[in-house]
Each structure stands twice: as C-alpha cells, then as structure tokens.
Amino acid sequence: MADSQASEPQQPSLYERLGGYDAIYKFAGEVLRTCMKHPAIGHIWSHMSESTFQKEHINFVDFLSVHWGGNAQYRGRDMVTAHRGMGLTEVHWQAVMECMDECYDNFAVPADIREEVTAFLTKFKPAVIGSPSYRDVVLAHPEMDVAKGMKSVGITWPKP
Ligand code: HEM
C-alpha cells in the first residue's frame, strides 16, 4: 500500500551522512593534498597554478555534493572533457585509490561509507582513464592545428 511505503524510514543521503558541504570540502581538500604528495601522481600538480587548483577543488566538491544529494551547483566540465588528453592510466587510478584509503583512515570513515564512495568514484573510471596524452598527439602530428583537438587528426576518445 502507498501509505505503508511512504512511512518506511529513508536512509539519509550520502551528503548528509558525510556531514554536508563543509565536511566534503575538507575531505576533498585532504584528498588533493594527499594526491599532491603521492610519488606516482604528485608531479601532476607541479605546474598547476593556484587558481586552477582552487577551481579544481571547488568543482570537485560541488560535483560530489550534487551527486550525493546536496543542494549545490556543479559548474565544471563533464568527466570525459575534463580528463581527455591527460593520458591517465591504471597507475594513476591506483594512486588515487591509495590516497582515498589514506584519507578514509585519517577521517575514520566507516567501512560502509568507504565502499559507497569508492563504488561511486569507480563508476567514472572509464571516463577518466585511458585517453591518449594530448601532448603526445600534438607532437606526433606537426601539421595539426593544436586548437582543434585530437578529433581533428582522427583520434576519438572515448572510442565510439
Ligand atoms: C575518481 C574519478 C575522478 C573524478 C570523479 C574526478 C573529478 C574531477 C572534477 C570534478 C574535476 C574538475 C573539472 C573541471 O574543473 O571542469 C577534475 C579535474 C581534474 N582531475 Fe579529476 N577526477 C577523477 C580522477 C582523476 C585522476 C585519476 C586524476 C589524476 C591522477 C585526476 C586529475 C585531475 C586534474 C589534474 C584535474 C584538473 C584539470 C584542469 O582543471 O585542467 N582526476 N576531476
């Protein structure tokens, strides 16, 4: 019956269970800090400007908040566009997962929430891992108009 369904207790959103915007803001900041010091991926941030970092952080927080039931607005790019051309591999992925584990421990995140967060991130793995490096594409195609993207030299990612 509709009535009995309506009265079933609902689990609060992941956003609420994590403690809301400020908690996610702090956690995401720690994840980025941990990534910055990881030997396999820290170099990615070596030449990133302060303002790009700040944009990445806030977009990351808003992205997670929107997906986890918060009342935020995500102003960044879709995951394929944001990561296409970075040439990210399984090595990068594993490093981020190690950083996540370190942060779960530091924040004493309960096991069920860890699993939920990791499962959520893993849904985006095909969108962020496996694209060619844009630098490699540009250097391999001296004739290319670099503004036109890898598609202009016949490289499409993700594969259709
Ligand atoms: C777990 C899956 C991932 C998610 C959900 C994710 C999410 C995001 C989001 C929301 C942004 C901001 C996009 C924008 O500002 O338009 C971003 C940017 C970025 N991500 Fe990821 N990311 C993931 C995996 C990775 C991995 C594995 C790496 C590298 C180790 C990485 C490196 C970066 C970098 C360097 C930027 C900044 C790009 C820029 O602003 O130019 N991401 N990511």
82 within ligand 1 shell (Cβ under 6 A): yes
Q: Are residues 68 and 80 in the same domain?
A: yes
Tell the residue number behind the tokens 């808003």, with chain if given.
62
Q: Is residue 5 part of a domain?
A: no
Binding residues: 83
Are residue 140 and residue 116 in the same domain, yes or no?
no
Q: Are 88 and 130 in contact (CB under 8 A)?
A: yes
**Residue 81 included in any domain:** yes
pLDDT score for 159: 86
Q: Which amino acid is at 126?
A: P
Domain identity same for 27 and 97: yes
Q: Which domain holds residue 93?
A: 13-129
pTM above 0.90, yes or no: yes
Binding-site residues from annotation for heme: 83
Q: Which of 7-11, 20-24, 25-29, 37-41 is predicted least confidently?
A: 7-11
What percent of the chain is modeled with pLDDT above 70?
Answer: 96
Q: What is the CATH number of the domain that holds 118?
A: 1.10.490.10
Q: What is the pLDDT of residues 64-122, one digit of tens each?
A: 999 999 999 999 999 999 999 999 999 999 999 999 999 999 999 999 999 999 999 99
The answer to whether residue 2 scores a pLDDT higher than 70 is no
- Has residue 157 been placed in a domain? yes
Could you tell me the distance, in angstroms and rounded to a whole number, from the CA of residue 112 to the centre of ligand 1?
A: 24
Task: Report the complex ipTM.
Answer: 0.93
So what's the pLDDT on residue 160? 81
Q: How many domains does the chain have?
A: 2
C-alpha span between 17 and 113 (Å, rounded):
8
